Structure 1
């Protein structure tokens, strides 16, 4: 996400809980490197030498040379296809040399030789399958990364008169992007911010998020009234539902919770908020932590549930927002993160405690890192839903 919150503690958490992070998966053989050079060949070579030496120095009634069939199997997990094939051949040669050095009554003979040869062939085939699977996974991750950068575009650290920081953790780390969405759109009528969460998972959720973001980027720039931007988004999600239904798909009832924010140019100490059924944002600063009372609006896509004659759009509400305060927005991946005992993450309590101990925690980068690390610790890295944390402050 925009300007990912970093820090030593946070990086250690992402390493400790890799399911919750977005680290690139490395090839297993790439993990065995010293000064940039691969040493993946060392473990199978040591195993080959060790089995050969032990078999040569032990009594004749303790023959373990047949264990050498393990060497190509270890190589298949760590090395490339050619390396695995080489270890298969070396295993056969070592078997033949060591076994022929014993008297006839102690030799393992042809059956174990065939076993070692067959093990080398199967290990090489397994290695080829493994490498193809890794290449396919990398291609899929490349596609997912392209989708992520298209839907969740990178944003400058200071953009539209706002200093901001954020982090996005996908529950499905292979997909890299899910139903959470966000963007900042500066324009002639002030800066607009959108943070939301599409119901459900998978490509259908990504499609709905992309549709809403496209509308927000255009309407947020051109429309002078924030209520009109909200209306355009409500119309867009209905059009998307109709399109999905016309395709015969069963996920045409997707909806999205969202927070639409406006930072007007003529009122520098305020923020306008339209809440489509989203968790209300927090404001943290020298005067403490407060929750903006913005609940009550229906999510985008559920306007048909409103009786005729009743307004379907939530109102635009204006709140004071000082220059020394930070606006914190999270998706339900934060508020619904559970500990092993089932307890939810106490967002407001944790932010209040941190600001009481150190008022500098209200800085956007520190605040996002605090919430990210707190959620990972609280849930032990097992995120049940996509998690987005975003903090904004006026420059």
Structure 2
């Protein structure tokens, strides 16, 4: 969910949809007044009221904090005036309360500005994520799909993992991959590869030609980045390129660029498709060729599961890797409905987070898809329905 600017952000404390961030400072104010009278003349604590605007500065807005500063000063004067002269806290404590209110208001200004800045950065990251990983209709191009992307850097919310579906006159094409490295360089490389896939995947009839275009684009991007002085000279991307040909309703074509092997999940169990015998995108010049295109069976009731290495390399506390195929097979045996794309993605996501204790060492993408019984899409549906909340 994209966060909005501070003035429209979700308050820190909610009760039935309303903010009660003002309540803790008010309770503290009342508590200090009561204790000041309860402890007697020998132990005056009215000067502790300086904590009230300090607490407000941490959880309230600027104007609320300033109001508490003024209230604290007025309360100090009223309460202190109620005591005989020999027991009054005096001018020194008054100056402390007044100065505390001013400093609290200034601290609130700084905090709110920083929050607005951070929320703006998160909005930019969210826009970048939606540009690289564009929203996909859940029933589109003859496929039902579900996907989830978990960034290892939760503040960045975007990284080098990518996936997309591209309908074309020659069938539907799918690309899932992982750019080596992290940071903006990985995001730029992912965007470059996806841009080429969306064009070549639509126009090119032969999947091998699409694969060649992707390889060339990765090389060009790397060369351009190096010329700009970026440290991208050895950047590459593992990927799986899949085609759902119209003339083979129970077959798919697949080319694997050194990526995790896809799994086919269905009522007859789980099987692994051809592994990454090819080198990653951007390294084809080392072997002089691209990975072969395999045609493999995929029944109508089977789901294709593609993940990045954030799944297979997730470790628990003792250091054991997450066993994807075993865990998926166990889940589907217990409930065959878990082979459906949305249920399958949710099952894997929850399993990875549970196995790793929520500590992701790498960006994690889980993408599942199967052919629709009715190949007609469903225009007008919410495009976010196919993407699970991360």
TM-score for both structures, normalised by structure 1? 0.90
Residue 167 (structure 1) aligns with: 148
The correspondence of residues 74-153 of structure 1 with structure 2, limited to 5 A, is 74-153=55-134
Alignment match, 2:166: 185
Separation (CA, whole Å) in 2 of partners of 1:344 and 1:67: 54
2-side partners of 1:312 and 1:98: how far apart?
A: 85
Whether 1:271 and 2:252 are equivalent positions in the alignment is: yes
Give the conservation status (yes or no) of the 8 Å contact 1:274–1:294.
no
Counterpart check, 1:335 vs 2:291: no
Tell me, yes or no, if structure 1 residue 361 matches structure 2 residue 338. yes
Residues 112 and 101 of structure 1, relative CA distance in 2, 3 Å threshold: same
CA contact (8 A) 2:263 2:304 kept: yes
Which of 285, 298, 318 aligns to 2:295? It is 318
**Take 2:278 and 2:4, find their aligned partners in 1: how far apart are those partners?**
41
Contact map agreement 1:277 1:297 (CA 8 A) in 2: yes
Query: Residue 201 of structure 1: CA displacement?
Result: 1.1
The answer to whether the 8 A contact 1:29-1:40 is kept is no
- Cα offset, 1:31, TM superposition: 2.9
Instruction: Tell which deviates more after alignment, 263-272 or 56-65.
Output: 56-65
Partner of 2:325: 348
Distance 1:286 1:260 in 2: 25
1:206, distance to aligned residue in structure 2 (A): 0.7
**1:14 aligns to what?**
none
Q: Secondary structure at the match of 2:11?
A: helix
The answer as to whether partners of 1:75 and 1:84 remain within 8 angstroms in 2 is yes
| Match in the other structure for 1:15 | none
2:31 maps to which residue? 50
Partner of 1:382: 359
Distance 1:76 1:29, change over 3 A: farther
> Does structure 1 conserve the Cα–Cα contact (< 8 Å) formed by 2:4 and 2:123?
no
- Once the two structures are TM-superposed, the CA of residue 350 in structure 1 deviates from its matched residue by 0.6
Normalising by structure 2, what TM-score?
A: 0.91
What is the Cα deviation at residue 23 of structure 1? Answer: 7.7
- Structure 2, unpaired ranges of 5+: 373-390
Q: Unaligned 5+ residue runs, structure 1?
A: 1-21
Aligned to 1:247: 228
Deviation at 1:125, TM superposition (A): 0.6
Counterparts of 1:144 and 1:162 in 2: how far apart (Å)?
28
Q: How many residues align?
A: 370
